[in-house]
Amino acid sequence: MAHKIDPEVCVGCGACKAGCPVEAIDEKDGKCEIDPAKCVDCGACAGQCPVSAIAAG
């Protein structure tokens, strides 16, 4: 199951996007979102998030 970003916690810094090896993260309205169709559930993004906004879905 793909990881998810909590939009209430996300600060839109883009650190997760930079850490995603499959380019599954996009920014929309100042927040980051993970495309579940592209996500390979590696967890690399979660380790990059400075506010712990990403969790396994």
Q: What tens digit of pLDDT does each residue of 1-57 get?
A: 679 999 999 999 999 999 999 999 999 999 999 999 999 999 999 999 999 999 987
pTM for this prediction:
0.86
Domain spans in the chain, listed from the N-terminal domain onward: 3-56
What pLDDT, on the 0 to 100 scale, is given for residue 57? 74
The fold for domain 3-56 equals Alpha-Beta Plaits (3.30.70)
| Burial per residue of 3-35, b for 16 or more beta-carbon CB atoms within 10 angstroms, e otherwise | bbbeeeebebeebbbebbeeebbeeeeebbbbe
